[in-house]
Structure 1
Amino acid sequence: MSEQTLPGGNTTGAVRAGNVVHKPAAPWTPSVHALLRHLEQAGVEGVPRPLGFDDQGRQMLSYLPGEVIGGRQPWPAWVYRDDTLEQVGRWLRRVHDASATFVPPPDARWFTGDKLQPGMVIGHQDAAPYNAVMDGDRLAGFFDWDTASPSPREVDLGFSALLWVPLTPVAAAELVGHDRPEERSRRLHLLLDAYGYEGDRLAFGPVIVARARRQAAVIREMAEAGDPAATALLPIAGLLQKSAAEVELLPPSFWVALA
């Protein structure tokens, strides 16, 4: 069966053959597949199903049909609809709640190198618009689970907030189609409400800042080590650094939900 190159793939190229996606495997792929099987058994929808490995050693996953951003810029209008944002929040909550009961394999490895600790979940860690699949007005799920890793809920939720609200610099947000910076606080709380977030929202900003800076540092370290995918992502590292600096400047009122 012929293979079709899928759009995107900044870090790992993926091809589709029928309803199966083939993409390079990594040392943490077996752990990610174990997580995906757990989510399937827990009834979580919008998650690709692991199908083993092909004769080239590539991992195989079920294809999630629907519309993706691919290389489009600006991003499609559905990224900024309120109902999409609410669906993202509810989906993240289902994944986090289900992963809280996941028992990793004894030899589990994750992209970040972190170990699962009490109170953590295993999040997607990159549930951003460019990894979303839409079926009309319905969020069909998220692909590209390679960076799934243990973290507190806020860390995974915070990165999604950064890209979906969005909390990137205004000029960068305008390039991808978001031209209403005055809506950011309202959209942040819409996402958190849909998730059912009960934590201190004033403390949520520093979580986003720390996550953005950590990711930027990881990209730069990998690029310095000669990783070509990380080298291609160096502009993203710069964007994350600028985003962190801008989020730090947001006033306390930004993080307090209006009654």
Structure 2
Amino acid sequence: MMRGVPTVWGDEVGERLPGGNVHGAWRVGDTVRRTTGPWSPAVHALLKHLEQSGLPCVPRFLGHDGLGREVLTYLPGRVVDLDTEELSDGQLIEVVAWTRGLHAALQDFDHPGPWRFPGPEGPIMLGHNDIAPYNVCFDGDRLAGVFDWDLAGPTTPLLELGHIAWTGVPLFRETPDDVVLDRLRLIAAAYGGVRPRQVLEACLERTQLAIDGIEAAVAAGDAGMINLAETTGEPEPTRLRRAALLRRVPHLLALLDAGV
């Protein structure tokens, strides 16, 4: 296959991969097939830019198949099950360090979209927007892949880190204070140039953006987000978990300020 030449792959449906409450994905050999949307050309341009940058752990966009789905390279590795596990410290450091590399690689990339996730007011860059344990895979503690780029689009570095904290600390459940403080500090140190309190505060902003974004997408008829709402009840679970975190934030900030 020649680079730069559009390729139409076959029409084999493939094996349905686990997970995926929005659209889902199918594996065919060493490729993954996924449903596209109006945002897909912008995402494909971003993936091509990252391929040229040499950033590891990113799927390559290969073209479309006979069923109209995008074709991406398959990224082998183990996905951490958030229902029963948490990221190790080593895995969390790997994810954050990779995120720093992602942001560096995208400094010279811009695209008008459209993007599926509208992002915040005053975005300063493009990013993944959904870096979380369910969208990454590992070989031991080593990061092996980052997938599901459909929400890529406008963001800020702190919002990316806030989302990592939401699922990676994790802040979406009642994680003990000492663990929260240690992991927020770990995230800030692994990324560099940010403070743990900024990551915590960004988590609140990012989760509100998620709530607003899901509601807007459902109202606009986004089939994937409608499926997410129907199968998981979102955004209500995120709203309730965010409210629980919000009640803890003053205490957590006081502990951070006290250097506990």
User: Aligning the two structures, in what range does the TM-score lie when normalised by the shorter sequence?
Assistant: 0.7 to 0.9
- Do the aligned partners of residues 116 and 38 (structure 1) sit closer, same or farther apart at CA in structure 2, a change above 3 Å counting? farther
Task: State the partner residue of 2:197.
Answer: 202
- 1:71-90 paired onto structure 2 within 5 Å: 73-75=83-85, 79-90=86-97
Task: State the Cα distance separating 1:255 from its structure 2 match.
Answer: 4.2
Overall identity of the aligned pairs, in %: 35
2:184 and 2:41 mapped to 1: Cα distance? 34
Please tell me whether the aligned partners of residues 80 and 87 of structure 2 are also in contact (alpha carbons under 8 angstroms).
no
1:160 to 161, 164, 167: 164
Q: 1:21 to 1:151 in 2, by over 3 A?
A: same
Contact kept in structure 2, 1:51 and 1:62, CA below 8 Å: yes
CA offsets per residue over residues 179-201 of structure 1, 9 Å max, x none? x45311101110111111x2354
Residues 1:4 and 1:64: Cα distance change in structure 2 (over 3 Å): same
CA distance in 2, matches of 1:235, 1:245: 16
Letter of the aligned partner of 1:247 in structure 2? L
Corresponding residue for residue 253 of structure 1: 254
Conserved? CA contact 1:27–1:109, under 8 Å? yes
When normalised by structure 1's length, the TM-score is: 0.84
> Do 1:51 and 1:61's aligned partners in 2 also have CA atoms closer than 8 Å?
yes
Alpha-carbon distance change, 115 to 254 in structure 1, aligned in 2, over 3 angstroms? closer
After TM superposition, the score normalised by the length of structure 2 is: 0.83
Partner Cα distance (1:133, 1:210) in 2: 26
In structure 2, C-alpha distance between the alignment counterparts of 1:8 and 1:193, rounded to whole Å: 31
Give the aligned partner of residue 183 of structure 1: 179
Q: Does 1:66 align with 2:84?
A: no
* Structure 2 CA distance for aligned equivalents of residues 9 and 132 of structure 1: 13
Cα distance between partner residues in 2 of 1:257 and 1:12: 45
After superposition, the CA RMSD in angstroms is: 2.5
For structure 1, list consecutive stretches of 5 or more residues without a partner in the other structure: 174-179
Q: Against the structure 1 CA distance between its residues 64 and 257, is the aligned structure 2 distance closer, same or farther, given a 3 Å change threshold?
A: farther
Q: CA deviation at 1:212?
A: 0.5
**Cα distance change of structure 1 residues 149 and 233 upon mapping to structure 2, 3 Å threshold:** farther
Gaps of at least 5 residues in structure 2 are 1-11
Aligned length: 243
